[in-house]
Amino acid sequence: MENIDKRLKAYGIGRFQVMALLQAARYYVLKGDLEKAKSFGLNRAIFYAWAKYYGPAKRPVAARLSRVEEILRKQTLRGIKPSKCPEGYVNVLGECVKTGPRGYYSIGEQEQLPVDFDHQVLRKIKPLIDPDKAWKAAVEYVSRFPRKILENSSLFYKYVYEPVRDSFFTELIRKGRVEPPREIIERLDSLNKMIEEARRKQRSITDFFNAA
Cβ 25 vs Cβ 37: under 8 Å: yes
For the cut 80, the answer to whether the pLDDT of residue 79 exceeds it is: no
Query: What are the residues whose beta carbons fall under 8 Å from the beta carbon of 159, sequence distance 6 or more?
Result: 145, 149, 180, 184, 187, 188
pLDDT of residue 59: 46
Q: What is the pTM of this model?
A: 0.80
Of all residues in the chain, the percent with pLDDT exceeding 90 is 43
11-20, 46-55, 61-70: range with lowest mean pLDDT: 61-70
State how far the Cα of 179 lies from the Cα of 103, in Å rounded to an integer: 33
pLDDT of residue 51: 52
State how far the Cα of 100 lies from the Cα of 98, in Å rounded to an integer: 7
Cβ 133 vs Cβ 171: under 8 Å: no
pLDDT of residue 21: 97
For the cut 70, the answer to whether the pLDDT of residue 88 exceeds it is: yes
For the cut 60, the answer to whether the pLDDT of residue 56 exceeds it is: no
Count the neighbouring beta carbons within 10 Å of the beta carbon of residue 145.
19
pLDDT of residue 152: 87
State how far the Cα of 23 lies from the Cα of 38, in Å rounded to an integer: 8
For the cut 50, the answer to whether the pLDDT of residue 58 exceeds it is: no
pLDDT of residue 160: 94
pLDDT of residue 96: 86
State how far the Cα of 116 lies from the Cα of 123, in Å rounded to an integer: 10
For the cut 60, the answer to whether the pLDDT of residue 85 exceeds it is: yes
